[in-house]
């Protein structure tokens, strides 16, 4: 019987060749996270939130001519954070990477942002800081990276506790690998109301058996203005899917957000999940492999959300407590 188990690092970088880099500014209470590889890779995206902020995501549609990209950026800063991809593009251009137009190579770096402009950080800058943060995040890429209150999760919050950056991975036997990374900055709550019990810890459990059945957490949310939230994610696999398949994987992975955050995909969230493949493992059975990776992607997202909340740490000027500091 084929076994399912967490990857060696329980991280998205368990997927062949993918690297992650973070950069943040604690005074700004914001930051950037970059995913890349040493070579270009195929990717797609699914946007289900009501208030998304993106750049270059149209190119990820199956009918668009660009098949491979060079990196994905997750950033704080709302629309200001979209400039982070410019810093990443500068680095990639210096490495002579990108879409070959004949006369010059143009790095393709889709990006998505979350709203962290009201988290107590310094926002009265004169020059947009996100281009430099994007460049620094790219220069920091590695198989090993921090999670919690770092990168795009530096200033992230939920309705009840601090958010953050999280990751997870699964292996199915020795052939199929799936990993995820998320930046959790949601309108909704990751906890059952009135408790510090995380929804992500009870994935697959019968919630009716809990002493206090879940009810909506939205009533007490402090984040009910349009565009003031978002959960951003990336799922990666080693199976060589095309862009159409990757789009379906990204869409299916959104159920992982819904299992870990209540409510999710609201009009006020900009929930976005990218999907990518290293293309290093052939597909044996298209239907079976696609179903499996869709399922594992959702599971990875759920566990990555939990890891983000658990790894968040207190910093000066925080408006919310960390989950780790709550009493049981």
CATH number at residue 179: 3.60.70.12
Say what the pLDDT of residue 207 is. Answer: 43
Assess if residue 158 is contained within a domain.
yes
Tally Cβ neighbours within 10 Å of residue 65.
6
Distance CA 89, CA 96 (A): 10
Q: Which of 238, 235, 242 is nearest to 176 (CA)?
A: 238
Assess if residue 273 is contained within a domain.
yes
pTM of the predicted structure, to 2 decimals: 0.93
Q: Is the pLDDT of residue 59 over 80?
A: yes
Residue 92: both structure tokens together? 């990639």
Q: Under a CB-based contact definition with an 8 Å cutoff, are residues 79 and 53 in contact?
A: yes
Assess if residue 251 is contained within a domain.
yes
Q: Is the pLDDT of residue 227 over 60?
A: no
Assess if residue 324 is contained within a domain.
no
Say what the pLDDT of residue 5 is. Answer: 92
What is the number of structural domains in the chain?
Answer: 1
Assess if residue 20 is contained within a domain.
yes
- β-pairing verdict for 230-239 and 176-185: antiparallel
Give residue for tokens 């982070």: 84
Q: Which of 181, 125, 149 is nearest to 24 (CA)?
A: 149
Assess if residue 144 is contained within a domain.
yes
- β-pairing verdict for 176-185 and 19-25: unpaired
Supply the range of the domain harboring residue 210: 4-317
Q: Is the pLDDT of residue 81 over 50?
A: yes
Q: Is the pLDDT of residue 139 over 90?
A: yes
Say what the pLDDT of residue 202 is. Answer: 80
Assess if residue 123 is contained within a domain.
yes
pLDDT confidence tier of residue 49, bands split at 50, 70 and 90: confident
Assess if residue 11 is contained within a domain.
yes
Name residue 105's beta-bridge partners. 100
């Amino acid at each position: 019987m084929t076994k399912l188990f967490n990857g060696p690092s329980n991280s998205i970088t368990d997927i062949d060749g993918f690297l992650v880099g973070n950069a943040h500014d604690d005074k700004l209470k914001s930051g950037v996270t970059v995913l890349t590889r040493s070579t270009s890779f195929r990717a797609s995206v699914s946007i289900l939130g009501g208030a998304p902020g993106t750049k270059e995501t149209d190119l990820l549609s199956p009918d668009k001519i660009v098949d491979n990209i060079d990196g994905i950026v997750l950033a704080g800063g709302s629309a200001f954070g979209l400039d982070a991809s410019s810093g990443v593009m500068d680095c990639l251009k210096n490495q002579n990477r990108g879409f070959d137009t004949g006369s010059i190579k143009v790095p393709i770096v889709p990006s998505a942002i979350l709203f962290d402009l009201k988290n107590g950080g310094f926002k009265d800058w004169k020059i947009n800081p996100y281009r430099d943060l994007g460049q620094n995040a790219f220069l920091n890429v590695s198989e090993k990276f921090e999670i919690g209150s770092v990168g795009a999760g530096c200033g992230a919050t939920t309705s009840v506790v601090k958010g953050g950056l999280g990751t997870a991975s699964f292996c199915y036997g020795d052939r199929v690998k799936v990993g995820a990374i998320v930046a959790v900055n949601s309108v909704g709550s990751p906890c059952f109301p009135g408790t510090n019990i995380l929804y992500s810890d009870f994935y697959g459990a019968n919630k009716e058996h809990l002493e206090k059945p879940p009810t909506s957490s939205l009533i007490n949310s402090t984040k009910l203005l349009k565009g003031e939230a978002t959960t951003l994610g990336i799922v990666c696999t080693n199976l060589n899917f095309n862009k159409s398949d990757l789009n379906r994987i990204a869409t299916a992975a959104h159920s992982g957000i819904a299992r870990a955050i209540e409510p999710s995909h609201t009009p006020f969230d900009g929930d976005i999940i990218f999907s990518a493949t290293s293309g290093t493992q052939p597909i044996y059975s298209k239907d079976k492999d696609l179903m499996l990776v869709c399922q594992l992607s959702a599971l990875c997202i759920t566990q990555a959300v939990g890891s983000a909340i658990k790894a968040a740490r207190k910093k000066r000027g925080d408006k919310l407590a960390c989950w780790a500091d709550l009493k049981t």
